[in-house]
Structure 1
Amino acid sequence: MLLACLTLLHVFVLVFWVGGDLGAYYASYAVADPRHPPAARRLAARMISNIDMAPRTSLVLALPTGLTLAVAKVWLELDMVWLILAWVISLIWLAVVWAVHVTEPKPGTALPRADVGLRVVAIIGFAAVGVAALSGFVAVPGFIGLKLILLAAAIGFGLTIRRVLPPFAIAFAKALNNPDDGAAQAVVADLLSDVRRYVVGIWITVSLAGLIGIWQPVI
């Protein structure tokens, strides 16, 4: 029963990650469409911000749930102290993610910088362990190493979205205040088009990670 619950929890991570991104993906078309009234576009933007918390939460919980499942299935031999530490760090990170969402601090302030810093550390750490696993330098199954590399790539796509979006707020405000401002409308549409491409990258990497977890190929 415990193993089934752990498996379901890890599956939920995939479901809410891809599902939340899908909802935000389609809502972005309403944000970019100047034919919609400003109030509708503003509501769609707020919906994206709220819906996006599902994949952001899933991103953080992917490692501790997967790690716990790997230990429960005896794929990994790991001291319980390290498992507890993984959960503590992940929950602290999750608290930072939600604090950023609720308080909406200015970019560059402490909370957003902490969130970005944790993501960079996660990318480096996951990729390093993944490569080490595939190279046989650590006692980690190759398929788990590959999942870690894909998770690092998914987080990287998310960080790239953050690098693309800074001009969005100003352009979107101009587009709402003046629907006839073609330049502002074009900036909004182009930025969201770029974001959607990276979101597709996230779908692909996360879906491949899920497939590998089910397939468990010997690598």
Structure 2
Amino acid sequence: MSTYLALKFAHLIAFVYWLGGDLGTFLASRQVMRTDLGPQARATALGIMLACDMGPKLAMPLILPIGLQLASDAGMLALPGWALPAIWLAALLWAGMVLFIYLREGQALAHRIAAIDFWFRIAVVLTLLGLTASIFAGAIAAAGIWLGWKLLIFSAMVCCGLVIRVQLKPFGPAFGAIMAGEDLERANASLQNSITRCRPWVWCIWAGLFINAALGLHLI
């Protein structure tokens, strides 16, 4: 198998794990919200939800450098020689932070890394918007304007993820209160409101994935 085909396969797998993991997370979240389930059952559902969520969380930083590498190797995108190594390094750092936060959940250092990760994603969005503008303006040679649209949509999906993170801030304290049996009515309401507010942004991410897949296949 050539390197190009291996990257193409990895790009496809990242898409599958992103969309499939998001669906698993979405379905598991419905069980977490069920007030008719006991605390242990809801804690098990939460564990499944967090594990499923690792698919999308790791796919997001990895699908970007793979896609840009494919475009560059196919002669569809002309980037400076330093750009791709820098993009790969940043993406691997991003994925490393995601994995560290998951493995050290609840620890003080994980919270600090999560804060860094949040601002790192904002930097990624700003960088990609600059690259997209350069493609649209013709300052960077690209095989088609569709590459710029794919990057713009990816940036929007990263922004949706940031909004979801903000909306989920009440989730942890509310779930902790439920596990402790404290003020269950208020805690359940807070938890359900938190997850419900996230749903439109999840649907936007799904729409972005479908559109980017269609752009990559030149269906639109």
Greater alpha carbon shift after TM alignment, 98-107 vs 114-123: 98-107
Determine the C-alpha separation between the residues in 2 that align with 1:177 and 1:53.
26
- The reply on whether 1:17 has 2:18 as its aligned counterpart is yes
Q: Which residue of 2 aligns with 1:157?
A: 160
Q: TM-score, normalised by structure 2?
A: 0.90
Q: How large is the RMSD of aligned CA atoms in angstroms?
A: 2.0
**Is the 1:179–1:185 contact (alpha carbons within 8 Å) kept by the matching residues of 2?**
no
Q: Which residue of 2 aligns with 1:94?
A: 95
Equivalent residue for 1:126, pick from 114, 125, 128: 128
1:41-190 → structure 2 map (5 Å cutoff): 41-104=42-105, 105-106=107-108, 109-140=111-142, 141-178=144-181, 181-190=184-193
**Is the 2:100–2:110 contact (alpha carbons within 8 Å) kept by the matching residues of 1?**
no
Q: TM-score, normalised by structure 1?
A: 0.91
**Is the 1:28–1:192 contact (alpha carbons within 8 Å) kept by the matching residues of 2?**
yes
Determine the C-alpha separation between the residues in 2 that align with 1:166 and 1:23.
21
**Is the 1:17–1:58 contact (alpha carbons within 8 Å) kept by the matching residues of 2?**
yes
Work out the number of aligned pairs and report it: 217
Determine the C-alpha separation between the residues in 2 that align with 1:171 and 1:60.
29
1:192 Cα deviation (Å)? 0.9
1:160 Cα deviation (Å)? 0.4
Helix, strand or coil: the match of 1:12? helix
Q: 1:180 to 1:117 in 2, by over 3 A?
A: closer
Q: Which residue of 1 aligns with 2:203?
A: 200
Post-superposition Cα deviations, 1:77-132, rounded to whole Å, max 9, x if no partner, equal 33554322221221122111111111123499431122112100111111222133
Determine the C-alpha separation between the residues in 1 that align with 2:128 and 2:39.
42
Instruction: For 2:159, give the aligned amino acid.
Output: G
Instruction: For 2:203, give the aligned amino acid.
Output: V
Post-superposition Cα deviations, 1:158-200, rounded to whole Å, max 9, x if no partner, equal 1001111111112122233338832221111111111222111
Could you list the runs of 5+ residues in structure 1 that have no partner in the other structure? none
1:19 Cα deviation (Å)? 0.6
1:148 Cα deviation (Å)? 0.6
Determine the C-alpha separation between the residues in 2 that align with 1:125 and 1:187.
35
Determine the C-alpha separation between the residues in 1 that align with 2:109 and 2:157.
22
